[in-house]
Chains A and B, each alone.
Chain A
């Protein structure tokens, strides 16, 4: 699926630490990943595995203590706050939050939230509204929702608005943090389909989740993050059908599927024992 040789995102040996001096602890260690245009990478990890920190580091919200991050070939690891703001205004990298209710200002009509990135860029209001409408159609939302408040929309509609909001700047890379976990089936499929379209249009996607199952259908590659390190990176099919690292095996074995959990309880217990050893 990957087109265009140059990766949108290159992360090499990323290190992130939190805290100071004696309370300093390592959150990410030697994390490397590169994402090409039109590629979808699933980053899977449990709570505290560092998956959110990874996203925040790429977005410049967390400072890396080592390693390099290249966005569109540009080394951003040493960027100043001003440089970051300029980069963000260009809208190359965008982020979709897990909970659309909290990521949209409850007191602003959909329209205002949707066109905010454009207004920040300095696009005139009239043009911004026009472009906003176009993207609302792209996520299959009626433009009559424009004047509504987020509270008046359903969860699925809200998440579509959140997706449309990041699309208005035509980003090259979108990081999605559990974008479908707060949604129910029908809406989940809707969002995943939109993501597939984006991928086909050449947008690179990083899909962050704790659940292998929610990523399986869209990811080309899967990276399993465990205790701040990528313990397994590979083709989605290979990782799911033939995981090697014990944690990856436990993940696959724990995911509930229609055909019952993939691993038996004894196997899961054995894997857990192995991990804790």
Chain B
């Protein structure tokens, strides 16, 4: 299912620098939440700028945080199969993106992973393992135990996941008290730490505010803080930035990248926008009508799309998106530190020019 990943410090030659695996042979650095990786040239690094050393990802030897194998999901009302086999593996500190339109099955897949499929939907084949544990036979208490502390999620509409009549800080503290067994005062301290960690400007103030006093971006930060309160290994972000303004979306994506680098959090980023996923993830799955039509490292998917639908997604950005203008006025507006010598605006759609392809082949 997964193509061979590009290895080594290939990023400079890959157009637009996609993240790559860390150099082979790097010591298995267990990511520590407290100490940021010294190699991170803070804070400018979004994962897309892929400094090869910045990825806190340990080598492939480490056990996957999440394994999804051939998962199929059925709708029992109409007796139809909605998702026809999704497989991917996610190691700590890495990010996989799922792109697809509404109804493509991407959200159902996430819900299956979290064990919260809507009524009358069921996983009919395949298996899901979270931190090496098959979730098929989990009882409700076991699920409760797993959620939050091992796997956690944020969704599109943050306000609906918070109680409007409680202060947001109290709600985070509650999660901490339940999940980590801390006393009230310690939980409060930890909640403030978390609010700081999600880059809220005035955590003390936000702690005592209610949902209606916070903007969408701030609420999403609060939810992310809640989601990472019990130090999960995997965070699922299902259209987490879709409802936000573009400038706020950029901040949230930066935050997710940060968490990934600092805490070794493994991310599943779900979006209808290929660009969002491309910005955060090393690996992309493109889904359509329940089928995974494309799966591979981000650079591969972006520059060698195999499926027509992936080409359509790329072409859309190039014809109607900012790429249309940015591609040919690169020097003035793209301050991406990585040199991007032959910016062919259609590199993604058509066959890649001979020289470029050779470079890419060399990389592999």
Q: Which residues of A contact B (CB under 8 A)?
A: 46-47, 154-155, 184-189, 192, 210-214, 216-218, 236-237, 240-242, 250-269, 272
Contact = CB atoms under 8 A, between A and B. Distances in A.
A258 B335 contact: no
B275 interface: yes
Nearest to B343: A259
B320 A254 contact: no
Contacts of B247: 46, 250-251, 254, 268, 272
B333 A262 contact: yes
A269 B16 contact: no
B299 to A, nearest CB: 11
A233 to B, nearest CB: 17
B320 A218 contact: yes
18 contacts: A46-B246, A185-B312, A185-B313, A189-B316, A189-B320, A212-B322, A217-B324, A242-B332, A250-B247, A256-B275, A259-B323, A259-B336, A260-B46, A260-B336, A262-B326, A264-B44, A264-B335, A272-B247
B43 interface: yes
B329 A258 contact: no
Contacts of A241: 325-326, 329, 332-333
Closest 7 CB pairs of A and B: A217-B320, A184-B101, A254-B250, A260-B48, A241-B329, A256-B275, A266-B44
Interface residues of B, number: 60
Q: Is the interface of B mostly helix, strand, loop or mixed?
A: helix
Contacts of B309: 186
B245 A257 contact: no
B76 interface: no
Contact of B322 (A184, A186, A255): A255
Interface in B327-350: 327, 329, 332-337, 340, 343, 348
Given A241-B332, A257-B317, A265-B46, 18 more contacts: A46-B245, A47-B216, A185-B316, A189-B316, A212-B246, A213-B322, A216-B320, A216-B324, A217-B321, A242-B332, A254-B250, A257-B323, A258-B317, A259-B15, A259-B336, A261-B253, A262-B333, A265-B44
Contacts of A187: 101
A214 B332 contact: no
A272 B337 CA distance: 20
Q: Which of A210, A218, A262 has the most CB of B within 10 A?
A: A262
Contact of B246 (A213, A242, A259, A272): A213
Given A256-B278, A258-B302, A264-B337, A192 B320 contact: yes
Given A46-B245, A268-B250, A269-B43, A258 B332 contact: no
Interface string B243-276: 0011111110110000000000000000011111
Contacts of B282: none
B102 interface: yes
B86 interface: no
B261 to A, nearest CB: 12
Contact of B250 (A189, A261, A266): A261
Contacts of A253: 250
A188 B316 CA distance: 8
Contacts of B316: 185, 188-189
B314 interface: yes
Contacts of B251: 268
Most A-side CB within 10 Å, residue of B247, B272, B340: B247
B325 to A, nearest CB: 4
Contacts of B340: 259
A253 B332 CA distance: 12
B279 interface: yes
Given A186-B101, A265-B43, A265-B45, A257 B326 contact: yes
B319 interface: yes
Contacts of A272: 247
